[in-house]
A and B are shown apart, each in its own frame.
Chain A
C-alpha cells in the first residue's frame, strides 16, 4: 500500500481501536459466531457435516454485519463531523483515500475472522469430542474464503458509507446491498412452482462449506475479488467526480 493510503488507513484503524465501539463490535461478533457454532454443532450431532464446515457456516452469516459495523463510520462519520471536507480538499488521490479506508475496515473484519478462528481452535482443545472431526487445512480454506467474502462486503460497506448521510443508514444500506441480490434471487425462485427447498441456501454459506470440505472451486474467490474491485473502482470514480453526498 502506498504512503498516503497507509497513513489514512492507519488513522482510521487507530480511531476505531481507540473507541470502545471497535472492541464492542469484535466482542459482539465473537459472541454471535461462538453461539452459532455451538448451536449448529449441537443440531448436527451424529450428522455428516464436518466441524470446520460448521465453523465456516457459523461465521459467514455474521460477516455482513461485522463489515457494516466496520465500514459505516469510514465516510459517514467524516461527513457528520465535517472532516470529509478537509480530506477531499487535501491533495490526496481518490484511490489512495478509498484504498486506505477500505484496508483499515478490512483489517478490522479480518481481525474478527482471525479471532473467531482462534476461538474455535481454543474450543477444540477443551472439547475432546471434536477431536478427529477437525481438519486444519479445511479450516484454513474456509478462513481464506471468508476473508475474500469479507473483502467484498467491506467494499460494499465502503460504498454505502460514501453514499449514506448517516452512519446508521450506511450500516443498513450495507446489509441491504449484500442481502438484496439473494433476496431477489430467492423471491424469483418462489415464483417457480415445485422448486426444491435446497436452492434456498444462501450461496456464500455454500461456498464456505464447500471450501471447508475440500471443494475449493475457483469461481467463488474470483466472484468475491471481482465484487471488491468493481465496487472500490466505483467509489474512486464517484469521489473523482465529486458525485458524493457532501452534507
Chain B
C-alpha cells in the first residue's frame, strides 16, 4: 500500500506540489495525468526518494520514504522520464552492474539480469553499447533495471512517449506483469494508451490533485467499451454463451460475415481482464480467432476533458475539485 499524505514540495518560492494526498493498493496501476508543469514528475521524484518533501509523508507498506529511505528504495523501482543510462556500457554490463549495486550476489545478479533481458526482448542486445540503442530499447533497458529487484512500488515517468506501437504494447505488458505484486504509478500524455493500461487516474493541475477517478467510473461515464472479435468454427449459441464471462452478463451482438467468420461484440465496463478471459475461452473451445479488439472511443476524450479541466472533478478523498 502506497500512502501519500499531505505532500507539498517547493522549489524556492515556487510551489510545485501542494497538499497532495492519495493511497494506492497493490495491483493498482495509477495513471498520473496533467498538463506540462502540473507536478507529475515532481510527485514521482518524491515517491522515488530523489527529492525530499517540503511537507508531508510518503509511505510504502508503512515504511517512510525519508526516515527509512534505504529500505524504501530497496522496495521501489523507478524509470525516469529521460531514461538515463550509461552509454559507455553494454546492456548486459549495465544490468549486471545495477543488479550488483541493488544487493544481488554476483551469480544471482548474472542470472537475474540475463533472465530479465530475455523477458524484455533484450537478449540479442546484451552485448550492444547502450549509446547505440534506439529509444524503445533504451526504455526497455531502463524498465529492466527498474524491475530487477521485484519492487513493491514501480514508478514510471512517461515511459511510452515517442515509441512505436509495438514498443508501447511490450511496455504495457511489462507494466501489467509488474502490477501483479506491486503498485504502479505511471505518468504520461498518451491518453489512449494510458486509458487502456491504468486502473485509476490521478489528475494534477498546477501542483494540485484535482481528480482521482477509478477507470470503471470513467468508463461508465464514457458509456463503456466495446469488445469485438472475429472467430470461426463456433456455433452461434455457443458464442452467445461467452457473455457469461462478463460480470453481470452482457448482450452479445453476433453477426455472420460474408467470408463465413463470426463477428461477436459486447458492450462492457470491464476491459483487459475480460478480453483475456474471452481469448482464453476461444482457445479452450478450439475455435479459430482472427482478431480481438477492445475499443474505448469515448474514454480518451473523457480523459482529455479531465486533464484540460473541461470535466467536473470526479474526486475521491484528497482530491480538490476545481470543476
A, B: real partners: yes
Is B110 on the interface with A (CB-CB < 8 A)?
Answer: no
Query: Which of A7, A11, A81 has the most C-beta atoms of chain B within 10 angstroms of its own C-beta?
Result: A11
- Main secondary structure on chain B at its contact with chain A? loop
Is A82 on the interface with B (CB-CB < 8 A)?
Answer: yes
- Tell me the chain A residues, 78-101 only, with Cβ under 8 Å from chain B: 81-86, 88-93
Is B251 on the interface with A (CB-CB < 8 A)?
Answer: no
Which residue of A7, A84, A86, A246 contacts B51 across the interface (Cβ within 8 Å)? A246
How big is the A interface, by class?
Answer: 20 to 34
Is B49 on the interface with A (CB-CB < 8 A)?
Answer: yes
Task: Please give me the residue from chain A that is nearest to B157 by CB atom.
Answer: A85
- Tell me the chain A residues, 101-119 only, with Cβ under 8 Å from chain B: none
Contact A89 B52 (CB under 8 A): no
With an 8 Å Cβ cutoff, the count of chain B residues facing the other chain is 29
Is A237 on the interface with B (CB-CB < 8 A)?
Answer: no
Is B70 on the interface with A (CB-CB < 8 A)?
Answer: yes
Residues of B contacting A83 with CB < 8 Å? Answer: 84-86
Q: A82-B82, A82-B84, A83-B85 are in contact. Are A93 and B50 (CB under 8 A)?
A: no
Is B112 on the interface with A (CB-CB < 8 A)?
Answer: no
Query: Which of A11, A81, A85, A90 has the most C-beta atoms of chain B within 10 angstroms of its own C-beta?
Result: A90
Residues of A contacting B52 with CB < 8 Å? Answer: 241-243
Residue-wise interface mask of B (40-57) relative to A, using a CB-CB cutoff of 8 A (1 in contact, 0 not): 000001001111100000
The distance from the CB of A75 to the nearest CB of chain B, in whole angstroms, is: 13
Residue-wise interface mask of A (156-200) relative to B, using a CB-CB cutoff of 8 A (1 in contact, 0 not): 000000000000000000000000000000000000000000000
Q: Which residues of B contact A (CB under 8 A)?
A: 45, 48-52, 69-70, 73-74, 76, 78, 80, 82, 84-89, 97-98, 100-103, 142, 145, 149
Contact B73 A15 (CB under 8 A): no
Contact A86 B84 (CB under 8 A): yes
Q: A11-B97, A241-B52, A242-B51 are in contact. Are A89 and B73 (CB under 8 A)?
A: yes
Q: A7-B97, A7-B100, A11-B97 are in contact. Are A88 and B86 (CB under 8 A)?
A: no
Query: Which of A18, A83, A242 has the most C-beta atoms of chain B within 10 angstroms of its own C-beta?
Result: A242
Which residue of B69, B87, B100, B145 contacts A86 across the interface (Cβ within 8 Å)? B145
Residues of B contacting A4 with CB < 8 Å? Answer: 100-101, 103
Residues of A contacting B69 with CB < 8 Å? Answer: 240
Contact B86 A91 (CB under 8 A): no
Is A8 on the interface with B (CB-CB < 8 A)?
Answer: yes
Q: How far is the CA of A81 from the CA of B76 in the complex (A)?
A: 22
- Tell me the chain A residues, 11-38 only, with Cβ under 8 Å from chain B: 11, 14-15, 18-19
Contact A85 B74 (CB under 8 A): no
Q: A83-B85, A89-B78 are in contact. Are A8 and B51 (CB under 8 A)?
A: no
The distance from the CB of B223 to the nearest CB of chain A, in whole angstroms, is: 40
Contact B84 A89 (CB under 8 A): no
Contact B80 A82 (CB under 8 A): yes
Which residue of B86, B102, B142 contacts A15 across the interface (Cβ within 8 Å)? B86
Nearest 6 pairs of A and B residues by beta carbon: A82-B84, A91-B74, A242-B52, A91-B73, A89-B48, A83-B84
